[in-house]
Amino acid sequence: MPKIISANLNGIRSAHKKGFFNWLEKQTADFVCVQELKAQLPDMTPEFLNPCGYHGHFHYAEKKGYSGTGVYSRVAPDRVITGFGCPEFDAEGRYVQCDFGNLSVISVYCPSGSSSPERQEAKFRFMEVFLPHLVALKAEGREVVICGDWNIAHKEIDLKNWKGNLKNSGFLPEERAWMTRIFDECGYVDVHRGIDDRAEQYTWWSNRGQAYAKNVGWRIDYHVATPGLAKCAKAVSIYKDERFSDHAPLIIEYAL
């Protein structure tokens, strides 16, 4: 039962101090996709690069303390691709793809638009260029899983206060329609929702107020997969016993 974990770390150094790698050692995961490293190569210790015997591959942002993605794997990949061919967003370290035979495991960190109108416009630009990449990727005929923080709650069930967020970044009609296109037009599958349609399955909570304690959250972390891989998914869980970040790790087991 291959196990794949997606985790936005909100800083790899911060997550380390909170016990993320101690927890990871106990998980026996085959692949771990991490986002928001907030680090560059000089900041990466041997434990960050190759924890628990994993092979680690990373895409660092040019800006210090910002963004960044990585994939840890039990076996060495046949091929590693950093970036998806868009200079603006490749400079932000938002995409790393590791290929293993006919399987591609990808860690993605989609932009947030909540900090300013300018960042929302950047998010729309990302959406415009990333969708064709997803189409081309699927056309290759490989089994693909894209794990990460997509910074969009797709449906009303995916956030606690959906009525109050209809005009906010992360739940805008354009963003939600874009996610729908990925599933309905491009043919990818929201793996989590394919096996668990319960409410309140959140993966991120604001640091304001008592959002985490009251479970006033958003489901913005996903495994987005090709249908052949998605149908192999057997179990999903969100790990909340410890807090390593403002996100919780999303864990899905596949019967490959």
Q: Which residues contact 218 (CB under 8 A, 6 or more apart)?
A: 153, 158, 159, 160, 170, 171, 202, 203, 204, 205
Question: Are 8 and 36 a contacting pair, CB within 8 Å?
Answer: yes
Q: DSSP labels for 191-213?
A: HHHHH---S----EE-SSTTTTT
List, in sequence order, every residue forming a beta bridge with 32; answer none if it has no partner: 5, 72
Please provide residue 123's backbone torsions phi and psi, each rounded to the nearest 5 degrees: -60, -40
User: Cα–Cα distances in Å, from 216 out to 97, 160, 201, 205?
Assistant: 32, 5, 10, 7
| Catalytic annotation, pick one of 149, 158, 190, 221 | 149
Cα–Cα dist 66/25, whole Å: 26
Annotated catalytic residue 78: no
Catalytic residues: 149
